[in-house]
């Protein structure tokens, strides 16, 4: 650290000392200083323990409603926070201050953000003339201020999640051209996700500081110099200071960090993070939050690798000499997606059973599977509702099948799925099926779109009774729905239709079986379950199913895809 920097630091500390002395003289020796690193009384740089602005039982007004003060929320930020309740007993959080500039600045910035990482004002900025305070209301959330002691107790995975939350919050501020500058534990609330409570010291990117800012252990060197142009690297330093605090269990000393001390952190990748965030010259830090974000995500994955899946798929033409073409298709794709919240491990796949004879069924099933997967991959981030995404993908596949058939008779079933980390979404048309094997039990996840299923359902049978009887029904292969028929209204079943759930969480040791009717027509559920019980891998399960299908005659094309957790 250079001598000029030391002199400026000493000047800052001397200014703080003088202000503290003045306030002790004014308020007495019992004055409790909550934060000695703020610069002037007018800017709330020093916080004095004083009588709260509001007391339990007080009321404030907004529009035509009266809000009762329930309690003050203990925090160490530039405003006071209170739990309040309206006349309908709905709870909110009140931000209050006597300082108009501070509360106006926070209100304006928070109002410009639409983010889960910051409190969201739901009222206008108001003034209570009688109490001489300014205030605004936000939606209620869990306020749990971070402290250094709490941070020390975090598990490593929890710490990574917190840091990623903070990066996302800062990215949203930076997108508005704002640098926070004063990130420190006291202004972070450990909600889900973590929220930043205080924007008092934020400035516009590229602006020069009129006065230095200093919070011991967290403030970038350039913030402690007058007339320094500030950019997002000041916030990168503050994030590095939190990383330093977590791994070294102490704040960065006044004289700066020691390279030797950082090298003593024996966790792969962490010394490099510290060097890249805490360099004294901002030009030597990571040049953007995106760089730090990606490094944290990849380190998180290195320390906590995702749960893996064992996948295998096989399709056979069968033994029927009249079937000269395999009209089934099967495909899956593993995708590692970098997103703003983390690395997503995405598995998409589908099986399809073509109809039409000769080449038409093969064209239909192949085109359906290809179109389905390509639509999912290209549009995955556009759809928050993954069931809606599956439905759109099947409609897209249907359109492609119709185009590929070019007027010829043909069609195909399809059962397609999304497995996002541990969350399974699926949809089907026709009678290709999906099963879940869990805890030595087998469950059908799809609904057959067949005349037999519809007739049994109309007779008042429940789902389990339909499943047990449908394979003996004479019209089980007469389909009511398939892709490729441009004259019919397509009906698509999802898990919500079949099981009244939006998705299923796949657990350790679960097995998923996707198969065409060439498999389930030859083998009942008990036989499929026994194979899974006596097989170790997905490949072994698939091969054993195909072997048994062949032993039973393999009267149709047979395709099976197995995912083992």
Q: What is the CATH number of the domain that holds 236?
A: 1.10.510.10
Strands (E), 187-247: 188-189, 195-196, 203-204
Whole-model pTM over 0.75:
no
**For residue 358, what pLDDT is reported?**
52
Asked whether residue 191 falls in the same domain as residue 115, the answer is: no
CA distance 402 to 498: 27
Q: How far is CA 19 from CA 11, 150, 156, 200, 334, in A?
A: 12, 30, 39, 20, 61
Q: Is residue 412 in a domain?
A: yes
Structure tokens at 56: 């339990």
Q: Tokens standing for 491?
A: 């009906």
Residues 406 and 497 in one domain: yes
Q: 63 falls in which pLDDT band (50, 70, 90)?
A: confident
pLDDT of residue 138: 96
At which of 139, 164, 182 does a domain end? 139
Q: Is 133 in the same domain as 164?
A: no
- How many domains does one find in the chain? 3
b/e code 496-523 from CB counts within 10 Å (16+ = b): eebbeeebbebeeebbbbbbbbbbbbbb
Asked which of 244-253, 298-307, 340-349, 487-496 is least confident by mean pLDDT, the reply is 340-349
Residue 136's pLDDT is what?
A: 96
- What percent of the chain clears pLDDT 70, i.e. is strictly above it? 89
Q: What are the tens digits of pLDDT across the range 36-49? A: 343 443 344 344 44
- The CATH code of the domain that includes 9 is 3.30.200.20
**Residues of the domain holding 200:** 148-303
343 and 267 in a common domain: no
Last residue of a domain, one of 237, 272, 303: 303
Has residue 443 been placed in a domain? yes
The verdict on residue 192 lying in a domain is yes
260 assigned to some structural domain: yes
Contact 44, 78 (CB under 8 A): yes
Residue 15 lies in a domain: yes
Give yes or no: residues 118 and 37 share one domain: yes
Which residue bears the tokens 């798929």? 313
Looking at the fold, whether 385 and 337 belong to one and the same domain comes out as yes
- Which segment of 159-173, 187-201, 258-272, 496-510 scores lowest on mean pLDDT? 258-272
**Statement to judge: residues 124 and 260 lie in one domain:** no
Tens-place pLDDT, residues 414-463: 999 999 988 999 999 999 999 999 999 999 999 999 999 999 999 999 99
299 and 326 inside one domain: no
Does any domain span residue 505? yes
Among candidate residues 268, 303, 338, the one where a domain is terminated = 303
Instruction: Give the mean model confidence (pLDDT) for residues 373-394.
Output: 95
| CATH number for the domain harbouring residue 478 | 3.60.40.10
Task: Indicate the pairing of strand 203-204 with strand 178-179.
Answer: antiparallel
Residues 219 and 287 in one domain: yes
Spatial distance between the Cα atoms of 222 and 229, rounded to a whole number of angstroms? 8
Judgement on whether residues 14 and 66 belong to the same structural domain of the protein: yes
For residues 105 and 167, state if they share a domain: no
Q: Where are the alpha helices (DSSP H) in 176-232?
A: none
Domain match, 256 and 397 both: no
78 in a domain, yes or no? yes
Q: Does the residue 308 lie in any domain?
A: no
């Amino acid at each position: 650290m250079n001598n000029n920097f030391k002199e400026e630091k000493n000047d800052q500390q001397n200014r703080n000392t003088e202000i503290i002395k003045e306030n002790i003289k004014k308020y007495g020796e019992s004055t409790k200083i909550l934060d000695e690193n703020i610069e002037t009384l007018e800017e709330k740089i020093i916080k004095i323990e004083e009588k709260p602005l509001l007391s339990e039982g007080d009321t404030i007004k907004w529009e035509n409603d009266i809000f009762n003060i329930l309690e003050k929320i203990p925090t160490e930020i530039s405003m006071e926070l209170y739990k309040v309740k309206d006349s309908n007993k709905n709870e909110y959080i009140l931000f209050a201050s006597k300082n108009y500039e501070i509360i106006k600045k926070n209100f304006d910035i928070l109002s410009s953000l639409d983010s889960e990482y910051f409190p969201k004002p739901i009222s206008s900025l108001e003034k209570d003339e009688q109490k001489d305070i300014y205030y605004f209301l936000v939606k209620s959330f869990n306020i749990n201020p971070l402290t250094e002691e709490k941070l020390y107790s975090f598990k490593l995975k929890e710490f990574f999640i917190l840091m990623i939350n903070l990066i996302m919050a800062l990215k949203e501020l930076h997108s508005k051209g704002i640098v926070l500058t004063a990130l420190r534990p006291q202004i972070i609330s450990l909600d889900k996700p973590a929220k930043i409570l205080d924007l008092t010291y934020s400035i516009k990117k590229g602006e020069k500081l009129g006065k230095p800012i200093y919070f011991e252990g967290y403030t970038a060197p350039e913030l402690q110099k007058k007339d320094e142009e500030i950019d997002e690297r000041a916030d990168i330093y503050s994030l590095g200071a939190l990383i330093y605090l977590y791994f070294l269990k102490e704040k960065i000393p006044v004289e700066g960090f020691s390279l030797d001390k950082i090298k003593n952190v024996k966790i792969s990748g962490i010394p490099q993070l510290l060097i890249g965030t805490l360099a004294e010259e901002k030009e030597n830090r990571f040049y953007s939050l995106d760089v730090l974000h990606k490094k944290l995500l990849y380190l998180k994955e290195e320390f906590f690798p995702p749960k893996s899946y064992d996948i295998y798929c096989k399709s056979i033409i069968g033994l029927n000499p009249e079937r000269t073409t395999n009209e089934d298709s099967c495909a899956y794709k593993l995708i590692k997606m970098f997103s703003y919240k983390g690395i997503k491990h995405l598995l998409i796949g589908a099986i399809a059973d073509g109809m039409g004879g000769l080449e038409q069924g093969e064209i239909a099933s192949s085109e359906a599977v290809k179109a389905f997967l390509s639509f999912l991959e290209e549009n995955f981030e556009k759809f928050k509702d993954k069931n809606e995404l599956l439905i759109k993908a099947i409609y897209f596949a249907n359109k492609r099948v119709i185009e590929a058939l070019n007027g010829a008779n043909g069609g195909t079933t399809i059962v397609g799925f999304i497995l996002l980390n541990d969350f399974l979404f699926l949809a089907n048309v026709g009678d290709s099926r999906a099963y879940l094997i869990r805890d030595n039990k087998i469950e059908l996840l799809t609904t057959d779109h067949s005349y037999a299923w519809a007739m049994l359902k109309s007779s008042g049978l429940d789902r389990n009774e339909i499943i047990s009887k449908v394979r003996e029904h004479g019209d089980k292969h007469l389909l009511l729905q398939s892709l490729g028929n441009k004259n019919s209204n397509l009906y698509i079943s999802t898990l919500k239709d079949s099981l009244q759930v939006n998705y299923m969480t796949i657990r350790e040791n679960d097995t998923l079986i996707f198969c065409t009717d060439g498999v389930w027509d030859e083998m009942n559920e008990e036989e499929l379950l026994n194979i899974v019980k006596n097989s170790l891998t997905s490949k072994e399960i698939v091969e054993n199913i195909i072997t048994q299908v062949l032993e039973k005659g393999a009267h149709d094309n047979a395709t099976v895809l197995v995912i083992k957790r």
